[in-house]
Amino acid sequence: MKASSPLTSLRQAGIAAALSLAVAAVGSLIWSALLVSNARTTPAVPWSVPAMALVLVVYWWYLSGHGWPSRTQPARAALLRARRVPIRVFGWSFLAGGFSLVALVGLWIVLVELTGNGGNPTISGIAGYPAIFVALAIAMGSLVSPLTEEAAFRGYAQVLLERRFSAVVAVVISSLFFAAWHGPTQGFFWSKLLFFFAVGLVFGSIAYLTNSTLPALPVHVVGDVLFFTLIWPHDFGRPLVWTHGADATFWLEAGQTVVFAALAVIALRRLRNVNRQALRPIAQPSWGASE
């Protein structure tokens, strides 16, 4: 842990928490307002999707260190850390994230069958609307969450935490913030909080090892699409272990969680080694958005 007084460390954690929640909330609230307005007025014309796409472009542009005030531009760019990384680093990041995603799918299903707490309230909120509206809403939601959450929790919050705490502590704290952020919308069930904490550990580790918020973005997007379309809609039909017993599917998902979590750890260790060779110091990065 970096040398600091407890009061200074607590203050830094508080600032990181406030910043992460503010950054995530801006994107989420704007998207919610646009989506609700669109649904109530002209759901046959999903104008909220291109409108939010424009908002995301402007928002990421601002968070990455552009716009007023000019005196905060360097700080905003450093906190977002949208740094390009070599293609080899990106490849190992994607592999580690992909293995983690398969493990997380298994973990989610196991937790749902243990507790009965599954689903996503957003899906029920858009059910019954025209198919094109629902499809585009899910597609845009699968962009809004990754972009704003990676910026908020693995960028602004975790960068501040890494300046005061060790890498492990910084990732753990940012993951706690990430889990807490999902509580009001997903429910403060221990199983869901545990799941989102695990997601935070994965993306937080990738962000630290690559020193960038960009490599985890594709996996985060794929994960949201996967859960919106194939996982959450089927949660209420999953058997509860305590009443139906643990069937073969339950044990298969449990095994999937363990095996792919182990593969993810191996890939993350490999990413750490590649990171040491290629990223520190960063020379001429070749993938992702400019700093």
> In tens digits, what is the pLDDT along the chain, a chain of 291 residues?
555 678 889 999 999 999 999 999 999 999 999 999 999 999 999 999 999 999 999 999 999 999 999 999 999 999 999 999 999 999 999 999 999 999 999 999 999 999 999 999 888 888 889 999 999 999 999 999 999 999 999 999 999 999 999 999 999 999 999 999 999 999 999 999 999 999 999 999 999 999 999 999 999 999 999 999 999 999 999 999 999 999 999 999 999 999 999 999 999 999 999 988 774 444 443 434 333
What pLDDT sits at residue 4? 61
Burial-class residue 15 by CB neighbours within 10 Å (0-12, 13-18, 19+). Answer: middle
Distance CA 219, CA 53 (A): 19
Distance CA 102, CA 99 (A): 5
Q: Where are the domains of the chain?
A: 6-278
| Listed residue (142, 151, 148, 186) closest to 49, CA to CA | 142
Up-side HSE of residue 81: CA atoms within 13 Å toward CB?
Answer: 25
What pLDDT sits at residue 21? 97
- What count of other Cβ atoms lies within 10 Å of the Cβ of residue 139? 17
| Listed residue (109, 102, 98, 101) closest to 232, CA to CA | 109
Own/partner contacts of 55-63, CB < 8 Å, gap of 24 or more, are 55/27, 55/30, 55/31, 56/27, 56/143, 56/144, 56/147, 59/26, 59/27, 59/147, 59/148, 60/147, 60/151, 63/23, 63/151, 63/155, 63/156
| H-type alpha helices, the chain | 6-41, 48-63, 73-80, 87-115, 121-126, 131-149, 158-164, 167-186, 190-210, 217-226, 241-244, 248-278
What pLDDT sits at residue 277? 78
Q: Can the peptide bond before residue 281 be classed as cis, meaning omega within 30 degrees of 0?
A: yes
What pLDDT sits at residue 290? 39
What pLDDT sits at residue 3? 54
What pLDDT sits at residue 126? 86
Distance CA 153, CA 161 (A): 10
The three-class DSSP label of residue 187 is: coil
Distance CA 133, CA 148 (A): 22
Q: Which two tokens stand for residue 251?
A: 């044990």
Predicted TM-score (pTM) of this structure: 0.92
| Residue entry with tokens 């196991």 | 110
Q: Cα angle at 176 between 211 and 157, to 5 degrees?
A: 40
Mention every residue, 6+ apart, whose C-beta is less than 8 A from residue 213.
80, 81, 82, 150, 151, 154, 155, 207
What pLDDT sits at residue 2? 59
- Give me the sign of the Cα torsion angle 173, 11, 148, 22: positive
Burial-class residue 109 by CB neighbours within 10 Å (0-12, 13-18, 19+). Answer: buried
Mention every residue, 6+ apart, whose C-beta is less than 8 A from residue 20.
152, 153, 156, 157, 174, 177, 178, 181
Burial-class residue 264 by CB neighbours within 10 Å (0-12, 13-18, 19+). Answer: buried
